[in-house]
Amino acid sequence: MRFFLPAALAGLLLSLAATVFAADEDGYDLWLRYRPLERAAQTTLKAQTRNIVLPGAPTPTTDAALAELQRGLKGMLGQAPATAATTVDGSLLLATPSRLPSLTAADAALRADLAALGDEGYLLRQTRVHGHKVTLVAANSDIGLLYGAFAWLRGAAIGGTAAASSAPKLQLRLLNHWDNLDRSVERGYSGQSIWDWWGLPEIKDQRYTDYARANASLGINGTVLNNVNSKPEVLTASFIAKTAAVADILRPYGIKVYLSARFSTPLELHETSTADPLAPEVQQWWKNKADEIYKAIPDFGGFLVKANSEGQPGPQDYHRTHADGANMLAAAVAPHKGIVMWRAFVYAPKGAHLADDRAKQAYEEFKPLDGKFAANVLVQVKNGAIDFQPREPFHPLFGAMPKTPLMMEFQITKEYLGYSTDMAYLGTMYEETLESDTHTGKTVAQTLSGMAGVANIGSDRNWSGSHFDQANWYAYGRLAWNPQAKARDIAAEWAALTFSPDRRVAGPIVDMMMISREAVVNYMTPLGLHHMMGTSHHHGPAPWVDNLERPDWNPVYYHRADRNGIGFNRTASGSNALEQYAPEIARQYADPRTTPEQLLLWFHHLPWDYAMPSGRTLWAELLARYDKGVADTRQLHARWVALKPLIDARRYADVEQHLTRQINNAVLWRDACVAYFQSVSGLPLPPGVQPPAHPLEYYKALRYPYAPGRG
C-alpha cells in the first residue's frame, strides 16, 4: 500500500529534515556550505539562473567552474540549473572575449573594463547579450572565469549579486605547508598532513580536490607542499612522481605546486662532492634536477629555500652569500620560467652568540644584497623581525630593498597564539602589518610582489583544528588577493558564509573576532613584550627561562625584566635596531612618549614606575592589560553562549569547549606572568588586583612533553 502526503505537508517535512541536517555540521564544507536560501532570495536567484551558458569548448578549469556553480545553486535553490549552448532571459553566462568574440565588439566600456583585469581578474554584471537579459561572469581567461564563479556564488550566498569587478594586486599568492614526509606537521595543530605521501601517486584523496576548491575560492594560486626544514628525498624520482599527481589535481583550479628544497640535497644524496653553489658540478646537478621536475610537472612553480637558519645548510657554509645560493637555484629553473623564494628568516648558526639583538640579523645580512639577486628570486620576509609573535612591528626589510622583489610571510597556524585552541582572528594582525607606513613612500603592502601563508590545514575533519581558525585561512587568502582589504569586512563575509548571513548571528560573531586577537596579545604579551612562551613546544608562559644554549632562545633575553624595569632597549642607547627603520620611524619610536603603547616594551626598557598615558605606572598598566586579556576572553565565551539558539548544535558545542579551554589558558598566562614579574620587580600588587592562584614555583614546574605540533 502506498501513502501520499499533501504537497504542503511534504514540503514542511522536507524543510524540517533540512533543518535537522543543518543542525549537525562538522565544518568540512568551510565557507562553501551553500545552504538553502530564504524563499524570496531563492525566487530572485532562480530568475537569474534559468540555465548556465559557457560558449566554446570546455577545459578542466571551466569544468571546475561549472561544477561549482551547479553545486552551489543546487545547495541554495534545491536544484541545479542545466547547462545550455545559447542564452535566454535569465541565463548565467560565463564568457571571455576569445570564447564569445561578440561580447566586447559593441561595448567599449566592457572592453576597457576587461582589459584592466589582467589574466586572473573577473567582472560580474547584469547586462544584455544577444538581446537577452543575462548575469554575466566575464574574464580574459578560464581561471578568471573560475574566480568569478566563486565570487558570484559568494555574493549569492550572503544576499547580494551586485555588479562587481576584481583583479589580484599580487601575482603570487601561496600557502606554505610545513608538512613532513611522514605526515607529521611542524607547528601544525589540526591533525596529520593532508598529503598522504605513502599512498601517492596512486591513491588520490577527494580532500585534495576540496582543498583546491577552497583555495581557488580565495584566489590562492600556489602551494608549497613540504616543510621548509626539507629532506633531500623530496627531490628524488619517486617523490617527483607523487608531487606530479598532486599537481594534476590542483592544476584546473589555477594552483601551481612548489617544493621546499634542502640546499645540500645533491651532497646528501651522494651525487656531488660538495654543495658549494659556485661549484660547476653543483650547478649542473640542479639544472639537471630542474629539467627532470619540469618534464614531470610542466607548470611546476619553483623552490622555496630555508638556508643558514636554525641549523639548516646553506651557501654560508662555503663562505658564499645568500645571493650566491639563490641565484644558482634561480639559474636552474629560469629556462622553465620557475622562481626561487629565498627566506630571510635567519639568525646566527647554532653555537654562535649575537652581540646585541637577534632582531637585527636579517636586515644586516640581506640589505647589502639588494639588487644582487637574479630576476626570478623573491626574498621571503616574515611580517616581523623575531618570529610570528602575537604582535611585532613590521620587519625593517620592507621598504629597505627596493631593487629586490619581496614576499610577505605570514603564519596562519598559530604557533605563538594558543595553537588551534584559542580564538585569535589574525585578519587584524595581517591588516595591521600591511597598512603600516614604511616612510619610504609606500605602505608595507605596496612593497610586496607576493604573499605566503604558513598553512593551518590538516587532516582534522574541520581542516584547521577549530572552526574559527578557518577564518584565518580565509582572511589570508582574501588579503593576498587584495592587501588593502579590511579585516572587519573579511570577517563579516566569512561569518555570513560559514555560519549564517542572519545579522543576529553574523554581527555578534564579527564582534567576537575583532576583539579576539587583542585579547590574546593582552594575556600573553602586552605592551610589546614578546618571545615569552615555553621552550620547544611554544605553549604556555615561561618568562623565567634563562638556561638555554643560546641567549636569544631564552625569554629573559627579550623582556630583560629586573629590579629596575622591563623591556628591550632597541634605541641608540641600546641595540639600535631602530636604525634599520626609516628616519621618521626611528625618531618617533626613539622616545617612549611617542612610541605606540602596543610596542612600548619592544623598543624600550623602562622603570616600573614609568608614567603611562592612562595615569597608571608601567607596573599597574601591565597588570591591567593582563586582566583585560582574561576579561575579554570571558566575554568571548559569554557572547558565544548567547548565540546558542542560533547555531547548529555540533559546532556550538565544539566552539564552546574551545572557549572554555581558552579561559583557562588566559588565566594561566596571566597568573604565571604576574607571579614571575612580581618576583623580579619586588613590587606589591595594586589594590583590587587578584594575586595568582598558585606560587611561582607551581607554574615553573608545569611540563608539556606531548604538546602537538613539535615537528
- Cα separation of 615 and 653, whole Å? 42
Give the 3-state secondary structure of residue 539. Answer: coil
Domain 172-498 CATH assignment equals 3.90.226.10: no
Q: Where in the chain are all domains bearing CATH 3.90.1330.10?
A: 524-568+605-700
Backbone angles phi, psi at 365, to 5 degrees: -85, -35
Spell out a b/e string for 228-264, using b for 16 or more CB atoms within 10 Å of the CB, else e: bbbbbebbeeebbebbbbbbebbbbbbbbbbbbbbbb
Q: What is the mean pLDDT of the chain?
A: 95
The C-alpha atoms of residue 36 and residue 62 are separated, in whole angstroms, by 25
Closest CA to 250 of 194, 291, 292: 194
Give the active site residue among 324, 409, 415, 632. Answer: 415
> Average pLDDT of 28-48?
96
Lowest mean pLDDT among 208-212, 387-391, 478-482, 546-550: 546-550
Strands (E), 242-361: 256-260, 302-305, 339-343
What is the structure's pLDDT at 710? 76
| pLDDT higher than 80, residue 19 | no
Output 201-204 pairs: Cβ under 8 A, ≥24 positions apart.
201/241, 201/242, 201/244, 201/245, 202/245, 204/245, 204/249
CA distance 703 to 252: 47
Grid cell, residue 321, equals 652569500
**Taking 50 as the threshold, does the pLDDT of residue 7 lie above it?**
no
Q: What is the grid cell recorded at 316?
A: 654560508
- With a cut of 50, say whether residue 253 has pLDDT above it: yes
CATH classification number, 25-166, choose in 1.20.1070.10, 2.160.10.10, 3.90.110.10, 3.30.379.10? 3.30.379.10
Q: In the chain, where does the domain assigned CATH 3.20.20.80 lie?
A: 172-498
- Tens digit of each residue's pLDDT (9 = 90 or more) over 524-555: 999 999 999 999 999 999 999 999 998 999 99
pLDDT tens column, 512-523: 999 999 999 999
pLDDT digits (tens, 9 = 90+) for 446-460: 999 999 999 999 999
Enter the DSSP assignment of 138: E
| 324: amino acid identity, one letter | D
Task: Give this prediction's pTM.
Answer: 0.96
Could you tell me which residues come within 8 angstroms of residue 195 by beta carbon, excluding any fewer than 6 positions away?
177, 179, 183, 225, 226, 246
The burial of 387, by beta-carbon neighbours within 10 Å (0-12 exposed, 13-18 middle, 19 or more buried), is given as middle
Is residue 68 annotated as a catalytic residue, yes or no?
Answer: no
pLDDT tens digits along 570-621: 999 999 999 999 999 999 999 999 999 999 999 999 999 999 999 999 999 9
CA 402, CA 6: separation in Å to the nearest integer? Answer: 72
How far apart are alpha carbons 266 and 78 in whole angstroms? 56
Run of H or E residues at 637: helix 618-642
Q: Is 271 a catalytic residue?
A: no
Domain with CATH 3.30.379.10 in the chain: 25-166
Cβ-contact 674, 542 below 8 angstroms: no
- The catalytic position among 310, 356, 502, 562 is 310
Residue type, 19: T
387 tagged catalytic = yes
CA distance 396 to 581: 5
| pLDDT of res. 355 | 61
Please pick, among 113, 205, 387, 511, the residue that the annotation labels catalytic: 387
pLDDT at position 163? 77
Contact yes or no for 69/39 (Cβ under 8 A): no
pLDDT at 332 over 90: yes
Residue 553 to residues 290, 299, 561, Cα–Cα distance (Å): 37, 40, 16
Q: Is the pLDDT of residue 15 over 70?
A: no
CB 405 within 8 Å of CB 380: no
**pLDDT bracket for residue 354 (50, 70, 90):** low
Q: Can you give the pLDDT at residue 597?
A: 98
What pLDDT, on a 0 to 100 scale, did the predictor assign at position 13?
39
CATH topology of domain 524-568+605-700: Alpha-d-glucuronidase, C-terminal Domain (3.90.1330)
- Pairwise CA distance, residues 3 & 13, whole Å: 15
Cα(513)–Cα(313) distance, integer angstroms: 40
Give the pLDDT band (50/70/90) at residue 108. Answer: confident
